[in-house]
Amino acid sequence: VSSEETPKKYQEPEISLEIPYLKDPELLGELKKRIEEFEKSGIQDRVLKGGDGYVPRIKKRDYIIAIIINLAITIYFLIAVLTGP
């Protein structure tokens, strides 16, 4: 039997994580695995430098659309209040 065919025993990643309320070893193991993946795949460094997280990052045009529409709503509100009932 080659080593590739031997079922691999699950190994918990060696990262420090103190979560006293999380007692389930399988869930804790999966959480550690995901955090390690997040760090080793470069996502952690990327988000600290303003890049994508798990999903594509928001773009400037998204903010611009939001600003324009909300500005229009604010002007509408101000006109209504300033001209009175």
Partner 1 sequence: MSEKVREDVYFNLLPTKFEERVWGFWDFLAVQICFGIAAWFFLVGGFTGLVLPAKLAIPVVIFGNQVPLFLMSLLSLFGARYGIEMFLSARPMFGPLGADAWIIIYITSSYGWIAYASFLFGEAAYKFSKILGLPWVISTEVPGAIIWAVIATFIGLYIAYKGPTILKWFMRISALFLMAVLLGLIYYILAIYGVEKIASLPPPAPYMKDNQIDWPHNIASALEWNVGLGFSWAFWYGQYTRLARSESGAYHGTLWGWGILAGIAGVFSALTALIVGSFDPTDWIVALGTIELALIGLLLMAIANITSVAALVYPMSITLRSRLPRVKWKWAVLITSLPAIILENPLTFASYNVYLTYIALLTGIFAGILTGDYLLTRGGYYLRDIYNYKGGRYWYFKGVNPAGAIAAIVATGFYLWTWDPLLGVSHNGLFDKISAGIPTFFVAMFLYIILSKALKLR
Binding site for partner 1 (CB under 8 A): 15-24, 26-27, 30-31, 34-35, 38-39, 44, 47-50, 53-59, 62, 65-67, 69-70, 73-74, 76-77, 80-81, 84-85
Q: Smallest gap, in angstroms, from Cβ of residue 28 to partner 1?
A: 9
**Which sign does the torsion angle of CA 37, 39, 40, 43 carry?**
positive
Q: Smallest gap, in angstroms, from Cβ of residue 9 to partner 1?
A: 15
CB closer to partner 1 out of 12 and 70: 70
**Which sign does the torsion angle of CA 22, 24, 29, 34 carry?**
negative
SS (H, E, C) 29-62: HHHHHHHHHHHHCCHHHHHHCCCCCCCCCCCHHH
Q: Smallest gap, in angstroms, from Cβ of residue 2 to partner 1?
A: 24
